[in-house]
């Protein structure tokens, strides 16, 4: 009888914080900061249709840059699913990714999966990742356009 009770307890779903298996904490390690000024702007998207539309992002975060050391950013907890991230380093504090007259970014930027798309914006498919565990850390490297 004791064995049956013990086995039924082992097979029962757990309660409390460990039962939050449908959400995960998203942490970013942002590397290659070239100067200790401005802000890092992060946008999280969950669909191809909304990707790169700032008004349709799932979450956004702005962080001051105080050092060129890698920046660890805890974006928050999100439901398990497929996401993509776009980041830029706003060097002059105007809240925008500055571009030259040809539309080429003049400030560092990056995407999840660090795709190598130079002559076009990367797609959701190239930048997407799966959040399917309690904590996911992603390494993202900022680059200037010429470095892609």
For the chain, the domains span: 19-147
The pLDDT score that the predictor gives to residue 5 is 36
The model's pLDDT over 109-134, given as tens digits with 9 standing for 90+, comes to 999 999 998 889 999 999 999 999 99
pTM of the complete model: 0.84
Q: Scanning the structure block, which residue is given the tokens 């798309």? A: 117
Nearest CA-CA partner of 147 in 108, 111, 103: 108
The model's pLDDT over 20-70, given as tens digits with 9 standing for 90+, comes to 569 999 999 999 999 999 999 999 999 999 999 999 999 999 999 999 999
Report DSSP state, residue 98.
Answer: -
Region of residue 92 (left: phi > 0; alpha: psi -120 to 50; beta: else): alpha
User: Which neighbouring-strand residues pair with 62?
Assistant: 41
94 φ/ψ angles, rounded to the nearest 5 degrees: -90, 0
Using 50, 70 and 90 to split pLDDT, how confident is the model at 7?
Answer: very low
Q: Which CATH number fits domain 19-147: 2.60.40.10, 1.10.3720.10, 2.40.110.10, 3.40.50.620?
A: 2.60.40.10
The model's pLDDT over 84-113, given as tens digits with 9 standing for 90+, comes to 999 999 999 999 999 999 999 999 999 999
Environment class of residue 76 by beta-carbon count within 10 Å: exposed (0-12), middle (13-18) or buried (19+)? middle
85 φ/ψ angles, rounded to the nearest 5 degrees: -125, 140
- CA atoms of 111 and 117, how far apart (whole Å): 10
């Amino acid at each position: 009888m004791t064995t049956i009770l013990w086995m039924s307890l082992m097979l029962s779903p757990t309660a409390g914080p460990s039962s939050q298996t449908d959400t995960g904490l998203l942490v970013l390690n942002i590397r290659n900061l070239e100067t200790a000024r401005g802000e890092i702007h992060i946008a999280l998207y969950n669909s191809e249709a909304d990707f790169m539309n700032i008004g349709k992002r799932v979450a956004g975060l702005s962080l001051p840059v105080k050092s060129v050391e890698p920046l660890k950013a805890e974006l928050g907890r999100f439901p398990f699913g497929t996401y993509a991230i776009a980041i830029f380093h706003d060097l002059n504090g105007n809240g925008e990714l500055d571009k030259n007259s040809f539309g080429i970014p003049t400030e560092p930027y990056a995407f999840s999966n660090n795709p190598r798309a130079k002559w076009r914006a990367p797609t959701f498919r190239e930048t997407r990742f799966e959040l399917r565990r309690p904590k996911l850390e992603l390494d993202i490297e900022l680059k200037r356009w010429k470095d892609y």
